Every structure is written in structure tokens, then in C-alpha cells.
Amino acid sequence: MFTHHCSACSRRQLMFFSQVARSTEVADGIEVSFTCWCGEDQTALLADVTATRTTADIAAGDRGLVAA
């Protein structure tokens, strides 16, 4: 899930990855094309979408994510 401010309806919406029609890897992250809840086609740049946890983090009970 990610949030997006729609240029058509001017609302900040929670978008689900099931709404994504296309994704393209670009230098700054991943550009996604999707349809807003209002029905308008939109694009967004998702930066810093990678996250990892090490085995040691899990063993220590760390439930958070560490940016890669």
C-alpha cells in the first residue's frame, strides 16, 4: 500500500498494489501507473521501496524494518 495525492480529485488516497497497472524501475525508485479511486489514471514515483531484516534482527525480536 502507498498513499498518493490525486491530481484529478485532489484527495490523498490509500492505494493498493492491486490497483497498479504497470511499474517501471527508474533511477530514483519505481514509477507506478495506476487508477485512482475516482477513476483517473495516475502515476507516482515510489522511492526507497526496499527493506530488509537480518537473521540477527529477527532472532533479537526486532520487528522493525531496516532500510537497505
Query: Per residue in 4-52, pLDDT tens?
Result: 899 999 999 898 888 899 999 888 888 999 999 999 999 999 876 555 5
Half-sphere exposure of 18 (CA within 13 A, CB side): 1
Distance CA 28, CA 43 (A): 14
Q: What is the pLDDT of residue 46?
A: 85
Q: What secondary structure letter does DSSP report for 39?
A: S
Model confidence band, residue 61 (pLDDT cutoffs 50, 70, 90): low
